[in-house]
Chains A and B, each alone.
Chain A
Amino acid sequence: AQKVTQAQTEISVVEKEDVTLDCVYETRDTTYYLFWYKQPPSGELVFLIRRNSFDEQNEISGRYSWNFQKSTSSFNFTITASQVVDSAVYFCALSESDTNAGKSTFGDGTTLTVKP
């Protein structure tokens, strides 16, 4: 069975601080996909990134960066120089294949609060 653990339930930082959201996953599949989503107060999940199990390259997109380490089954997300608009709930998710990405297993989410 697949499992995603986001141990940090809530994180609070002051604007401009860097913050890392942790994600640890469990799967027996050799091919799988990892995702991060952002859920602002409006409720709609916004896709941030997808990474497949064969691609361990870290990725940077503006202030966002992701660190994927298969050896520790982790897919951590870092926001550099956080802003108030980054306040949201962030979810890490796992799917067993591209075809089954519509059946994703989600972590419980980390609520990030960025204070001015």
Chain B
Amino acid sequence: KAGVTQTPRYLIKTRGQQVTLSCSPISGHRSVSWYQQTPGQGLQFLFEYFSETQRNKGNFPGRFSGRQFSNSRSEMNVSTLELGDSALYLCASRPNYNEQFFGPGTRLTVL
């Protein structure tokens, strides 16, 4: 089975712009979670989608949003980018239960 894929792998944006990141889960996995990883804050949960519905949400401002499509692929969007949004964004998929399988991440740099 192919693993979790994330595109793009690297992204450079400027403050104020918006960005969309994509995640394709492992085939058959219906849950997709997003995490932000920064040196200062570590790994923080953003949100989880299951069957196109947001199931859980972390403590991030409304500028961070996501969605899931019927094929379980997910996108997350960050609007009005700030310097502090520079991070590695990790996507993880899993069947409804059990452990998460992570993708390689998208490294976002905001200038």
Query: Interface on A for B, CB 8 Å cutoff?
Result: 35, 37, 42-47, 50, 91, 98-109
Chain A residues contacting B70 (CB-CB under 8 Å) are: none
Give complex CA distance A47, B104 in Å: 13
**A residues less than 8 Å from B90 (CB atoms):** 43, 45
In the bound assembly, the distance between CA atoms of A2 and B45 in angstroms comes to 13
Main secondary structure of the interface of A (DSSP, over half): mixed
Contact of A109 with B50 at beta-carbon distance under 8 Å, contacts A98-B98, A101-B94 already known = no
Q: Take A35-B99, A108-B42 as given contacts and tell me if A102 and B104 are in contact as well, using a CB distance cutoff of 8 Å.
A: no
Whether B103 is near chain A, meaning CB under 8 Å from some CB there, is yes
Are A102 and B102 CB-contacts (below 8 A) given A43-B88, A108-B42? no
CB within 8 A of A44: which of B42, B43, B97, B104? B104
